Amino acid sequence: MKLNNNVKQTTELEIGQLWKVGDFHIEIVQIGKTLCHYRHLRNLGQKGIPVKLEQLQVVKKYLKTNKAELVGNKKKKTTRK
Q: What is the 3-state secondary structure (H, E, C) of the chain?
A: CCCCCCCCCCCCCCCCEEEEECCEEEEEEEECCCEEEEEEECCCCCCCCCCEEEEHHHHHHHHHHCCCEEEEECCCCCCCC
Over residues 22-73, the pLDDT tens digits come to: 999 999 999 999 999 999 999 888 889 999 999 999 999 999 999 999 998 8
Please report the pLDDT score of residue 7 as a whole number. 34
pTM score of the predicted model? 0.74
Residue 11 pLDDT exceeds 70: no
Instruction: Return the pLDDT at 12.
Output: 85
- Average pLDDT on 2-6 reads 44
Q: What is the rounded radius of gyration, in angstroms, for the C-alpha atoms of the chain?
A: 15
Distance of alpha carbon 35 from alpha carbon 26, whole angstroms? 15
- Domain-by-domain residue ranges, the chain? 17-65
